[in-house]
Amino acid sequence: MNFIPFARPEIGEDEIAEVTKVLRSGWLTTGPKTKQFEKDFAAFTGASFAMGVNSATAGLHLALEALGVGEGDKVITTVHTFTATAEIIRYLGAEPIFADIDPVTYCISPDDVERLLKLHGDVKVVIPVHYAGQSCDMDRLLQLRSTYGFRMLEDAAHALPTTFNGKIIGTLSDVTVFSFYANKTITTGEGGMVTTDDEAIAKRIKVMRLHGISKDAFSRFQSTKPSWYYEVIAPGYKYNLTDIASAIGVHQLKKAYDFRDRRQAIVDIYNQGFSELPIICPRQIRDNDLHSWHLYVIQLEEEKLNISRNEFIEQLAAAGVGASVHYIPLHQQPYWKKTFDLKDADFPISTKVSSCHVSLPNFPGMTKDEISFVVSAVKDILNKALK
């Protein structure tokens, strides 16, 4: 058995053929294929507007700016996330306020969000992160939004296709951002999408993603009449999605549910195979909702083992299995820890979870032999490590 990576993108002949068409079309940057991808994505999520961007980080930045966040504003998010979720707050000179997580879902804790809202009062935006593919408790968060009047920006980098109470993520709050990075549930290599039902937010993002210019390049350069004139109406960014990337995305989106079903099948095999081991397997809280299963995250019961989490990952690698950690939380990262005086004791659940959790391979192209090999490797290592 060859080494099984933690993630491997699933690219088919449809994507390859579509990219070839774009390369031959004479239009490579943001153009007709991106417009098609945006239209398809809006229909997929039910959102009024969908805007392609060159990364989810860019999308989060644009969305937060469109919500009016600026110098000194307060924004709540979770420590249990990738740094991009928080760094975009600092891009705008705003103040991040960090919440702990739910001990079962590892999503942001609504109870802790409420505590912070009571403590600070004047929070402008809350950014929940749908962890591993399972939705946050949006009922509680939307109730808090109604009570406290903040805006909500969902980090849905893991959450395609995910539902909450039967409704797909992408239309539940003010604005939602998805990721199409190489290891995500669908990919364009690099890229992301922003969805909203708010026309003012959509207009602002469309302008700011391309230098603050009043017309996009495709409209100007494809016109049969002179259309060279444009106006810079804001100091924008260079965050547009290319047609080459969108060509991949158009076909990846068509496969999103199939990919999810294949990941679900792997999860079912893992859950059965690991049932007798000293680990906590991930739980789906709402059985009638869709969990995208972007990540399969186990938590080692270290008190029953004579190896640490780090040693477990090293032994997996030696056996031929790639693994990862999601995440080393922000309160343990030098910049965030020092700048905002964050301590482990302030985030007891994230601190505990992050010391013993491991993300195992769970990508749709895994073969039966690869799945079986991962199960056998995990069982062999942990059974030998029992106290």
Non-local CB neighbours of 176 within 8 Å, separated by 6+ positions: 45, 47, 153, 154, 156, 169, 170, 194, 195, 196
Distance, in Å, from the CA atom of 76 to the CA atom of 136, rounded to the nearest integer, reads 14
Indicate the pLDDT class of residue 314, thresholds 50, 70 and 90.
very high
Highest CATH level, class, for 13-254: alpha beta
The whole-number pLDDT of residue 229 equals 79
Distance, in Å, from the CA atom of 243 to the CA atom of 155, rounded to the nearest integer, reads 24
Indicate the pLDDT class of residue 227, thresholds 50, 70 and 90.
low
Tokens of 366: 């895994």
| Helix orientation angle between 56-66 and 84-91, rounded to the nearest 10 degrees | 40
pLDDT digits (tens, 9 = 90+) for 117-128: 999 989 999 999
Global confidence as pTM:
0.96
Non-local CB neighbours of 163 within 8 Å, separated by 6+ positions: 135, 169, 289, 290
CA distance between the termini of the chain = 30
Give the active site residues.
184
Tell me the pLDDT of the chain averaged across its residues: 96
CA dihedral defined by 135, 140, 141, 143, rounded to 10 degrees? 140
Write the Ramachandran bin of 293: left for phi over 0, alpha for psi from -120 to 50, otherwise beta.
left
Q: Would you say residue 245 has pLDDT above 90?
A: yes
pLDDT digits (tens, 9 = 90+) for 168-181: 999 999 999 999 99
The whole-number pLDDT of residue 216 equals 65
The answer to whether 78 and 99 have CB atoms below 8 angstroms apart is yes
Tokens of 63: 């969305």
Identify the bridge partners of residue 179 per DSSP, sorted by sequence position.
192
Tokens of 129: 């992160």
What's the number of CA atoms in the CB half-sphere (13 Å) around residue 145? 20
Indicate the pLDDT class of residue 369, thresholds 50, 70 and 90.
very high
Handedness of CA 163, 41, 188, 64 (dihedral sign): negative
The answer to whether 292 and 263 have CB atoms below 8 angstroms apart is yes
Q: Would you say residue 185 has pLDDT above 80?
A: yes
Per-domain boundaries in the chain = 13-254, 257-384
Total Cβ atoms within 10 A of residue 318: 10
CA dihedral defined by 102, 107, 112, 117, rounded to 10 degrees? -160
Q: Would you say residue 270 has pLDDT above 60?
A: yes
Total Cβ atoms within 10 A of residue 370: 20
User: Domain spanning 257-384: which superfamily?
Assistant: Aspartate Aminotransferase, domain 1 (3.90.1150.10)
The whole-number pLDDT of residue 1 equals 85
Q: Quick check: do 13-254 and 257-384 share a fold?
A: no
The whole-number pLDDT of residue 34 equals 97
The answer to whether 96 and 340 have CB atoms below 8 angstroms apart is yes
